[in-house]
A and B are shown apart, each in its own frame.
Chain A
Amino acid sequence: MDPTNTELYKLVLHDAPYVIAGYGVLWAALVVYVGMVLRRIMRLEKEVLILGESVERRNAE
C-alpha cells in the first residue's frame, strides 16, 4: 500500500475498531434481549391457549 495512505488510515482508524465494536455490541445486546423476552411472551400466550382449552374441557365434563 502507498505509505502515505497507510499513515492516513492509521491517523483515522486508530480508534475505529473500538467505536464500531461499542455500537455493535450495544445494538446486538438490545436486540438479543428483546428477542428473548418476546419469545418468552409468545410461549406464555401459547400456554394460555392450552390452559383455556383444558378449562373448557373440564367445564364440559
Chain B
Amino acid sequence: MKQLKVAIVLLVVGGLLTTAAFFMAFYTAEVQRFGTITVTEQLDTAYPLQSVSADGFQYGRPWFSQKIFYFHVPVAEASFLVFGVAAFFAIRFLITKRREYDTKSRMAMETSLIFVVLTMITGMLWTRASWGIWWEWEPRLTTYFIMTLLMIAYFVLRNSIEDEERRATYGAVFAIIAFIDAPISFFITRLIPSSHPIVFQSGMASSNLVPFIVAQVGMLMVGYAIYTMRMGEEILYERVEAVKEALED
C-alpha cells in the first residue's frame, strides 16, 4: 500500500502546516480593526481610544472574527480547486471512456464536498460573529449554496442509476455542467455588490499573508491526502469484490 503511505505522510505534513498557520494566525498575524465599540468607563487596553462623547469612550474594535480567515478561505479555495479537478477528470473520462477516470472524478468530487461543507460551517460561524446573523441571501452565499446542492445532486444522480457505464457517463456530464457554477460563485463578489468581503483586492500585510499561504498549502495537502486515501480504498474494494466474484464461480 504505497498510496496509503503517501497519503498518511501528506496528511501529517498538511496537519502540521495548518496547525502552524493556526498559531501564526493568533500570535503573529496583524489584528484587523473595524468599527468602534462604546464603553462607559475608560479602559487600559491596547486598542486605540478614538473619541470621547456623552455616550462613553469609543475604542477601535479589534476584528477578532477575522481570524477565521486563515482557515475559511484556504478551505474554500481548495474546494473550488478540487471541484475543478473533478470536472477535469470528468472530461478525461468522456474522451477516453476509461473507468479509472470516472473513479478519480468521483473521489475528487467527494473530497470537494467535504471542503464545501467545512467552508459552509466556518462561514456561517463567521457570519454570526461578524454580521450577527447565521445566513443571508447575498450573491456569494447563494451561489455557493447552489454549488453545494449541485454536488449533492451529483451523488443522488449516481446512486439512482444501476447500469455502470451509463452511471459513469451521466455522472461525468453532470459534473461538467455543475462546474459552471464554481467560477460564477468565485467571481460574483467582484461583479455584483455583495457584503461578503473581498480580501485580496486591497492587498494585505505580510504578517497576514504568510499564515494564509501556509494554511492554503497545508489544506491542499490534506485534500490530496484524502483523495489518495479514498482512491486506495476504492481500488482495494474493487479488488476484493473481483476476488469474491471469482470465488463464487
Please determine if A and B sit in direct contact within the complex, based on CB atoms under 8 angstroms apart.
yes
Give chain A's interface residues, CB within 8 Å of chain B.
3-4, 7-8, 10-19, 21-23, 25-26, 29-30, 33-34, 37-38, 40-41, 44-45, 47-48, 51, 54-55, 58
Q: Which residues of B contact A19 (CB under 8 A)?
A: 64-65, 67-68, 125-126, 129
Closest CB of chain A to B79's CB: distance in Å?
12
Judging by beta carbons under 8 Å apart, are B72 and A22 in contact?
Answer: yes
**A25 closest partner in B (C-beta):** B121
Given A18-B126, A19-B68, A30-B118, A4 contacting B41 (CB threshold 8 A): yes
Interface locus among B155-163, B164-172, B175-183, B222-230:
B222-230
B46 → A minimal CB distance (Å):
10
Main secondary structure of the interface of B (DSSP, over half): helix
Contact between chains at A29 and B126 (CB < 8 Å): no
* Contact partners of B65 in chain A: CB under 8 A: 15, 18-19
Told that A7-B40, A34-B229, A44-B233 touch, could you supply 7 new A-B pairs with CB distance under 8 A?
A8-B43, A18-B129, A26-B71, A37-B233, A40-B233, A41-B4, A48-B239
A33 near B114 with CB under 8 A, answer: yes
- CB pair B11 A21 closer than 8 Å: no
Known: A37-B229, A41-B232. A22 touches B126 (CB 8 A): yes
Question: Which residues of the other chain, B, contact A21 by a CB distance below 8 angstroms?
Answer: 125
Contact B64 A23 (CB under 8 A): no
Size of B's binding interface in residues, CB under 8 A? 46
> In the bound complex, do residue B233 and residue A41 qualify as a contact, i.e. CB atoms below 8 Å apart?
yes
Q: How far is the CB of A45 from chain B (nearest CB, A)?
A: 7
| Residue in A30, A38, A48, A54 whose beta carbon sits within 8 Å of that of B247 in the complex | A54
Q: How far is the CA of A20 from the CA of B26 in the complex (A)?
A: 11
Q: Tell me which residues from 202 to 249 in chain B have a Cβ below 8 Å from any Cβ of chain A.
A: 222, 226, 229-230, 232-233, 236-237, 239-240, 243-244, 247
Q: How far is the CB of A23 from chain B (nearest CB, A)?
A: 6
- Asked if residues B41 and A37 are in contact (CB atoms below 8 Å), the reply is no
Check A26–B75 contact: CB distance below 8 A: yes
| A32 → B minimal CB distance (Å) | 11
A48 contact set on B, CB distance < 8 A: 236, 239-240, 243
Query: Is A7 a contact partner of B41 (Cβ separation < 8 A)?
Result: yes
For residue B236, which residues in chain A have a CB less than 8 angstroms away from its CB?
A: 41, 44-45, 48
Q: Are A51 and B43 in contact (CB under 8 A)?
A: no
Collect the chain A residues with CB atoms within 8 Å of residue B243's CB. Answer: 48, 51, 55
